[in-house]
Amino acid sequence: MIKRLLVTGAGGGLGRYVRERLKGPAEILRLSDVADLSPAGPGEEVMRCDLADRTAVDELVRDCDMILHLGAISVEANFDALLQANFLGTYNLYEAARKAGVRRILFASSNHVIGFHPVEERLDDTAARRPDSLYGVSKCFGEDLARLYFDKFGLETACLRIGSCFDEPKDRRMLSTWLSPGDFISLITKLIAAPAIGHLVLYGVSANRDAWWSNAHADFLGWQPQDTSEPYRETIERREEEPAAGSDYQGGRFATMGILGER
């Protein structure tokens, strides 16, 4: 057990799962978001923070042992918005963590860093990054920043390329990319407990029949996803008779949309 785990983006979907379900790995969850959160419960601290505010981030990180970094714009957006939340915010967090002596960050990267790979390919951690969006580019930046801070300062990071984490898969694509909330929490628990992880890239995906990604290189964690999208297949395939736009690409529709704000 660690003393204090900082969770950024605690007001989002993934943050909600963490707050509701992550029990045991940390004595205290320090929950943060740019938006207001409900009052702290037992074993919780609540701190509102804009990650683009460097001074505020320094204070946010103080006295934390590890960080679960979920705070970001999590969909495609215009570059100026991503610049503040995903680029500057991630840099501020890593620099604050370095100064505070934090030893490990669990970084919510995204499958959209490899979204232009065709669905016929099976990828592992060595696959070339092919971002499908500016959002995907922002997560590539985070992965590279994490690599720098490990090589230069020894700050460990798990770059978790999350697929589609919802209560249940919503469409055909998610039959391959779905990560159940239970599997997400069990993976986070393993990453907190691991003695050492270095700079680790792995995919957040459940044991789906047609998954595109392999985590064989991370077997040392002892994580085995327990859920699968198969119980939802018949309903989804009956509802969606035709493939959706972008279905040839692992990033789906992200690979076919334009750049937001382009002239």
Say if residues 37 and 99 touch (Cβ distance below 8 Å). Answer: no
Residue of 226, 215, 146, 153 lying closest to 185 (CA atoms): 226
Cα distances (Å, whole numbers) of residue 116 to 63, 107, 131, 140, 159: 40, 21, 6, 13, 19
Rounded to whole angstroms, the Cα distance separating 23 from 240 reads 37
Rounded to whole angstroms, the Cα distance separating 86 from 79 reads 10
Residue of 42, 49, 48 lying closest to 27 (CA atoms): 42
Structure tokens at 218: 């991370």
Q: 118 — phi, psi (to 5°)?
A: -70, 155
Catalytic residue among 17, 135, 203, 249: 135
Which run of H or of E encompasses 54?
helix 54-61
DSSP state for residue 218 in the 8-state scheme: G
Rounded to whole angstroms, the Cα distance separating 158 from 148 reads 13
Q: Is position 135 annotated as part of the catalytic site?
A: yes
Q: List, by residue number, the catalytic residues.
A: 135
